[in-house]
Copies of this chain bind each other. A is one copy, B any other.
Amino acid sequence: MYTYEYLENFTQEFFKKLGCNDADARISTDVFLEAELRGFSSHGVIRIRDYFNLWKAGRVNVNPNIKVIHETPSTSVVDGDRGIGMVVAAKSMQIAMDKAEKVGTGWVTSHNSNHYGIAGYYPSMALKKDMIGFSMTNANPLVAPTFSLSRMLGTNPIAVGFPTKNRLPFLADFATTPVANGKLSVAAKKGLKIPLGFVQDAEGNPTDEPGILKEGGSMLPLGVDPEHSNYKGYILSSMVDIFSGVLSGANFGPFVPPFVGFLPPSDKKVGEGTGHFFGAMRIDAFRPAEEFKEKMDEWIDIMKSAKLAPGQDEVLIPGELEYRNTQKLRKEGIPVIPQVVEEIKEIADYFGMDFEVRV
C-alpha cells in the first residue's frame, strides 16, 4: 500500500527523468494518479513501464512542440509532435475550453499523440468551469466489427461530464466494449474464465478464455451479439475512431499504434500517431448554469428514486463509484500489485531513484 503523495512524488520524478519539464511531469502524474484513485488501476502507475519502454524505443518525444495547425473560432486541430498522450490531451482540452469561453463551445481533434491515460480526466477539467466536457481516443485494434473476425478497432472509450449543484457530477468514462481489455489481462493472469459475450476465438466461436486474443481471437463490441444489436457498439467505436483518427489526421482502424513499447507499430501508416477528440460546452451558452445544475440534481434524484431490482442496493449515477473509491484510497492508501511494484522498482534502479517495495 502506498500513500497518494508517495506515488505522486515518484511518478513526477520518473517523468522528469525521461526529460519532461515540471509542468508536463505534473500533468502526466496527475492523470495516472487520478486513474488509481478512481479505481482504474489498469491506467495508473502500471503505465509507468509502458511510457518507459516507449521512451527507450524512441517512440515518444518528451519535449514536444505541441501546436495548433488549423483552426476556426470553435475548432482546432492539434499536432502533438509525438508527445506524451496526457500532455497533448490536457493542452488540447484547455484549447477547447478557451474556445468555449469565447464562442460557447470548443472542439479539438489531435493527432501525432500517444496513450492519454483515462478518458474521464479531461471532462473533469471542464466541470470545474461550469462546462460540459467530452473526450474520446482511438486505441490499438482489438475489436472485430459485427459479423467479422478481424481486429479492426480499439476499445475506443467515450467520456462525458455534466456539472451539478449539490450532487456529485455526472461523469461517465466507458469503453465501447462490454469489458475493458485490462480486465481480460487480469483474468488471464489469474487463470480465471470470463463470461461469454466478451470475446470470440479466431473462428468466431463464443469462448470464456480471457487469453484468446493471443491466439487470434478478438473482443466483441458493446451489445454482446448481433441479435442484441452489438452493431451499436461497433458504431460507437467507429465514431470514436473517426473523430479521433480520420478527422485529426492520426492513424485509424487497425493502424493505430500499440501503446506498449515491446510491440512494433504497423508498417503501414494512414496518419500520424494516435488520435484524440475533445469538446467543451459552456452551460450558460444554453441556459443559466445555476438553473441547469439544479435541474441536474433533480434529474439525479429522479433516477435514484427508481424501484430497485431484487438484491440491488441503489441506482448508480456515472462517476459515483469512482468518487467513493477516491475517498477510500485517499484515506487508506493505494494498493499496487506485486508485479507492477517490481517493474517500477527496476525502472527506479535504472535511473538510480529510490522506490520502496511494499506489499
Interface residues of A (CB under 8 A from B): 70, 72-75, 77, 103-105, 107, 109, 132, 144-150, 152, 160, 162, 170, 172, 174, 176, 178-179, 195, 197-198, 200, 203-204, 222-224, 227-229, 231-233, 235-236, 238-239, 241-242, 246-249, 252-254, 270-271, 281-283, 285-287, 292, 295-296, 298-299, 302-303, 305-310, 312-316, 318
Given that A174-B232, A229-B174, A315-B147 are contacting pairs, would A282 and B105 also be in contact in the complex, using a CB cutoff of 8 Å? no
Identify which of B152, B178, B292, B310 contacts A247 (C-beta below 8 A).
B292
The answer to whether A308 and B270 have CB atoms under 8 Å apart is no
The answer to whether B107 and A148 have CB atoms under 8 Å apart is no
Question: Shortest CB–CB separation between residue A237 and chain B, in angstroms?
Answer: 11
Identify which of B72, B150, B303 contacts A103 (C-beta below 8 A).
B72
A109 surroundings in chain B (CB, below 8 A): 286
The answer to whether A306 and B74 have CB atoms under 8 Å apart is no
Given that A74-B74, A286-B77 are contacting pairs, would A299 and B104 also be in contact in the complex, using a CB cutoff of 8 Å? no
The answer to whether A162 and B227 have CB atoms under 8 Å apart is no
The answer to whether B229 and A282 have CB atoms under 8 Å apart is no
A-B contact pairs, 6 of them (CB 8 A): A75-B105, A75-B285, A103-B103, A147-B308, A174-B235, A247-B287
The answer to whether A103 and B152 have CB atoms under 8 Å apart is no
Identify which of B146, B241, B248, B318 contacts A315 (C-beta below 8 A).
B146
Identify which of B104, B229, B254, B306 contacts A179 (C-beta below 8 A).
B229
Chain B: which residue is nearest A205 at the CB level? B310
Chain B: which residue is nearest A253 at the CB level? B302
The answer to whether B242 and A170 have CB atoms under 8 Å apart is yes
Identify which of B197, B231, B312 contacts A147 (C-beta below 8 A).
B312
Identify which of B107, B152, B232, B307 contacts A150 (C-beta below 8 A).
B307
Identify which of B144, B227, B253, B296 contacts A242 (C-beta below 8 A).
B296
A292 surroundings in chain B (CB, below 8 A): 246-247
The answer to whether B104 and A287 have CB atoms under 8 Å apart is no
Question: Shortest CB–CB separation between residue A106 and chain B, in angstroms?
Answer: 8
| Bound complex: CA A225 to CA B79 (Å) | 40
The answer to whether B178 and A228 have CB atoms under 8 Å apart is yes
Chain B: which residue is nearest A223 at the CB level? B222
Further contacts, 8 of them, CB under 8 A, given A174-B229, A204-B310: A72-B104, A75-B285, A144-B309, A148-B315, A150-B305, A152-B302, A222-B223, A231-B318
The answer to whether A318 and B235 have CB atoms under 8 Å apart is yes
| Bound complex: CA A257 to CA B145 (Å) | 36
| Bound complex: CA A303 to CA B149 (Å) | 11
> 3 closest A-B pairs (Cβ-Cβ)?
A72-B104, A148-B306, A150-B306
Identify which of B147, B241, B315 contacts A314 (C-beta below 8 A).
B147
The answer to whether A74 and B105 have CB atoms under 8 Å apart is yes
| Bound complex: CA A105 to CA B102 (Å) | 13
| Bound complex: CA A274 to CA B11 (Å) | 49
